[in-house]
Amino acid sequence: MKLLIVLAMLAAGAASVQDLSGKMFTFPVQNDRARVRLITSKQQFRAVTVCHRSFTDIKRNHGLFSLSTSGSSNSFLIFWDETNKEMEAHIMNQKSEFIGLDYKANMWHSICTTWDSATGLVQLWFNGRPTISKFVFVDTAITGSTIIILGQEQDAHGGGFDSKQAFVGMMSDVHMWDYVLSSCEIQSYVDELNFTPGNVLNWKALEFEITDKVLVQPKSSVCH
């Protein structure tokens, strides 16, 4: 365990490709620096699915997944609004709100978010249960130099971080596809069964770069 933590901290600032199966990122401090950049060469998206699992006890606004491009800091953002008790999906700065979610503290949540430029529809799957679809006025592709951040919310391309919106907790199983995943595939992801891994971001072959205090650790589980 200690060796794994030391290696994770030594790797900070240097991009690497790793199989993170059975592991998680731990964000133990609240500041405007601790983050993980997920690296992809893809710079155009006409549709997106992002799935991740997160565990936290914070009772304030926080970003969960932040993708910015040179033209929009909120090209694809997943954000929890504590004041209004809603999960938000921002697509090219257009916001959709999803309410009525049982976003309990101190437990793992599986969250998948989909968007399709052909229909303009955005949908959230929370612990395997779909929300209604929302429409956003974005009918063009997300294009430009892509920066994807976990742990912070980008208010500028690759920066503009605010410690009051930082994520503190654990995150695991982050995948991203450049198409809308089927409901059956999403359910397989939620149930941790066999599913098609992300073709943009794949947790089993993830290229990432750690800045400041973020650790790679074995994923925590409850023993019976």
CB 8 within 8 A of CB 215: yes
CA dist list (Å): 136 to 101, 116, 118, 121, 223:
20, 10, 11, 6, 43
Is residue 219 included in any domain, yes or no?
no
Is residue 159 included in any domain, yes or no?
yes
Those residues with Cβ within 8 angstroms of residue 72's Cβ, 6 or more apart along the chain or in another chain: 92, 93, 142, 144
Three-class SS state of 159: strand
Is residue 114 included in any domain, yes or no?
yes
Low-confidence ranges of the chain (pLDDT < 70): 1-13, 220-224
Q: Across-strand partners of 79?
A: 63, 88
| Residue 16: per-residue pLDDT | 80
Domain coverage including residue 128: 19-214
Q: Record the pTM.
A: 0.91
| Residue 224: per-residue pLDDT | 53
Is residue 13 included in any domain, yes or no?
no
Q: What is the pLDDT of residues 74-128, one digit of tens each?
A: 999 999 999 999 999 999 999 999 999 999 999 999 999 999 999 999 999 999 9
CB 126 within 8 A of CB 109: yes
| Residue 223: per-residue pLDDT | 62
| Residue 221: per-residue pLDDT | 66
Is residue 178 included in any domain, yes or no?
yes
Q: Specify the CATH number for the domain of residue 64.
A: 2.60.120.200
Is residue 5 included in any domain, yes or no?
no
Is residue 6 included in any domain, yes or no?
no
Is residue 2 included in any domain, yes or no?
no
Domain count, the chain: 1
The CA distance from 165 to 156, in Å, is 14
